[in-house]
Amino acid sequence: MSPAREEDNSLHPEVDRFILGEIDSVPHLEALLLLWNSRPRQWSLEELAAYLYIPVERTRQLLYDLQQRELVVMHDNRCLYNSSDARDRLMGAVDSTYRRELVRISNMIHSKASPAVREFARAFRFKKD
């Protein structure tokens, strides 16, 4: 097994926790991975919507969701991945896991509670200031 695959396997529980805790839908994950893979490029809402094959308003909402989780940065209708060393390492593992296990990750996302229920639960989480 190559070192990269060993690293991916060691991050498997962390990847699953990230998907379950931070990703509301497959388009959320696809948008985040696109922004991560094209960093430091900034995308317009229209470009991202066209790439993801979803309406601009849906794209705006999912980017807002990702921004609330501090995963992306929005400025003047442009967005980009919010990079950090720790998150970059995790996103590398998320990207390779999603490529290898598309069905498992998609099923995990689809089997979660509705975004409204998860948002209600998030309101009770403690965050560092």
Would 128 be classed as within a structural domain?
no
- Over residues 98-122, the mean pLDDT reads 76
Label residue 76 left, alpha or beta by phi (over 0 means left) and psi (-120 to 50 means alpha).
left
pLDDT exceeds cutoff 60 at 2: no
Would 68 be classed as within a structural domain?
yes
Domain that holds residue 92: 3-122
CATH number at 94 reads: 1.10.10.10
- Tally of domains in the chain: 1
- Over residues 90-113, the mean pLDDT reads 88
Residue with the bigger pLDDT between 126 and 51: it is: 51
Would 8 be classed as within a structural domain?
yes
Assign 112 a pLDDT band (cuts: 50, 70, 90): confident
Would 93 be classed as within a structural domain?
yes
C-alpha torsion 115→49→41→84, nearest 10: 0
* pTM exceeding the 0.75 threshold for the entire prediction: yes
pLDDT in tens, 12-64: 889 999 999 899 999 999 999 999 999 999 999 999 999 999 999 999 999 99
Would 33 be classed as within a structural domain?
yes
Would 127 be classed as within a structural domain?
no
